[in-house]
Amino acid sequence: MNHPTRAVIARPLAPFTGTARVPGDKSISHRTLILGALTVGETTVEGLLEGDDVLATASALRLMGAHVERDACGVWRINGCGVSGLKEADDVLDLGNAGTGVRLLCGVAAGHPFTTFLSGDRSLSRRPMGRVIEPLEEMGARFLGRSGGRLPLAVTGGDPLLPLHHELRVPSAQVKSAVLLAGLHAPGTTTVVERTPLRDHTERLLRAFGASLEIVPGENGRRSISIAGHPELVPVDVHVPGDPSSAAFLVGLGAALPGATLTVRHVGINPTRTGFFETLKDMGANLTFTDCREMAGEPVADITVEGTVLKGIEVPAERAPSMIDEYPVLAVIAATAEGPTVMRGLGELRVKESDRLASAAAGLEANGVRVDEERTGLVVHGVAGRPPGGGCVTVDLDHRIAMAFLVMGLLSRDGVAIDDAGAMDTSFPGFTRLLEGLGAEFGEWTG
pLDDT at 353 (0 to 100): 83
> Are the CB atoms for 316 and 348 separated by under 8 Å?
no
pLDDT at 447 (0 to 100): 74
> What is the tally of structural domains in the chain?
2
The answer to whether residues 305 and 431 belong to one domain is yes
Per the structure, the complete domain to which residue 111 belongs is given by 26-229
Q: How far is CA 436 from the centre of its chain?
A: 24
The answer to whether residues 367 and 259 belong to one domain is yes
Any domain includes 236: no
Whether the pLDDT of residue 321 is over 80: the answer is: yes
The answer to whether residues 178 and 225 belong to one domain is yes
Average predicted confidence (pLDDT) for the chain: 96
Whether the pLDDT of residue 86 is over 90: the answer is: yes
- Output the CA angle 175-50-306, nearest 5 degrees: 90
Parallel/antiparallel/unpaired status of strands 42-46 and 237-239: parallel
- Edge-to-edge strand order for the sheet containing 213-217? 165-167, 189-194, 223-228, 213-217
Smallest Cα–Cα separation from 393: which of 312, 331, 439? 331
Q: Among 209, 229, 249, where does a domain finish? A: 229
The answer to whether residues 185 and 291 belong to one domain is no
The answer to whether residues 17 and 30 belong to one domain is no
pLDDT band at 446 (very low <50, low <70, confident <90, very high): confident
pLDDT at 220 (0 to 100): 84
Any domain includes 293: yes
pLDDT at 31 (0 to 100): 98
Any domain includes 127: yes
CATH number of 160's domain: 3.65.10.10
pLDDT at 352 (0 to 100): 85
Active site residue 25: no
Q: What is the pLDDT of residues 238-249, one digit of tens each?
A: 999 999 999 999
pLDDT band at 4 (very low <50, low <70, confident <90, very high): low
Any domain includes 259: yes
Task: Name the catalytic one among 25, 325, 396, 398.
Answer: 325
pLDDT at 354 (0 to 100): 85
Any domain includes 235: no
Any domain includes 1: no
Whether the pLDDT of residue 2 is over 70: the answer is: no
Q: What is the pLDDT of residues 351-403, one digit of tens each?
A: 888 899 999 999 999 999 999 999 999 999 999 999 999 999 999 989 999 99
Q: What is the pLDDT of residues 199-224, one digit of tens each?
A: 999 999 999 999 999 999 998 889 99
Task: Give the number of other Cβ atoms within 10 Å of residue 74's Cβ.
Answer: 11
The answer to whether residues 178 and 282 belong to one domain is no
The answer to whether residues 101 and 208 belong to one domain is yes
Any domain includes 2: no
Q: What is the pLDDT of residues 251-277, one digit of tens each?
A: 999 999 999 999 999 999 999 999 999
**What separation in angstroms does the CA of 438 have from each of 204, 335, 426?**
34, 22, 22
**Span 223-231, mean pLDDT?**
97
- What does 282-340 look like in DSSP terms, one character per residue? HTT-EEEEEEEEEETTEEEEEEEEE----B--EE-GGGGGGTGGGHHHHHHHHHTSEEE
Whether the pLDDT of residue 3 is over 70: the answer is: no
The answer to whether residues 205 and 279 belong to one domain is no
> Are the CB atoms for 124 and 153 separated by under 8 Å?
no
The answer to whether residues 291 and 432 belong to one domain is yes
Q: Among 176, 200, 229, where does a domain finish? A: 229
Give the predicted TM-score (pTM) of the model: 0.94
Whether the pLDDT of residue 5 is over 80: the answer is: no
Give the span between the Cα atoms of 145 and 190, in whole angstroms.
Answer: 25
pLDDT band at 34 (very low <50, low <70, confident <90, very high): very high
> Are the CB atoms for 34 and 57 separated by under 8 Å?
yes
Phi, psi (deg, nearest 5) at residue 377: -170, 175
Any domain includes 423: yes
The answer to whether residues 127 and 45 belong to one domain is yes
Structural element, H or E, at residue 216: strand 213-217
Give the span between the Cα atoms of 280 and 251, in whole angstroms.
Answer: 9
The answer to whether residues 188 and 149 belong to one domain is yes
Give the residue, 171 or 387, on which the prediction is more confident.
Answer: 387
Whether the pLDDT of residue 232 is over 90: the answer is: yes
pLDDT band at 153 (very low <50, low <70, confident <90, very high): very high
The answer to whether residues 262 and 340 belong to one domain is yes
Q: What is the pLDDT of residues 105-145, one digit of tens each?
A: 999 999 999 999 999 999 899 988 999 999 999 999 999 99
Q: Among 176, 203, 229, where does a domain finish? A: 229
pLDDT band at 322 (very low <50, low <70, confident <90, very high): very high
pLDDT band at 6 (very low <50, low <70, confident <90, very high): confident
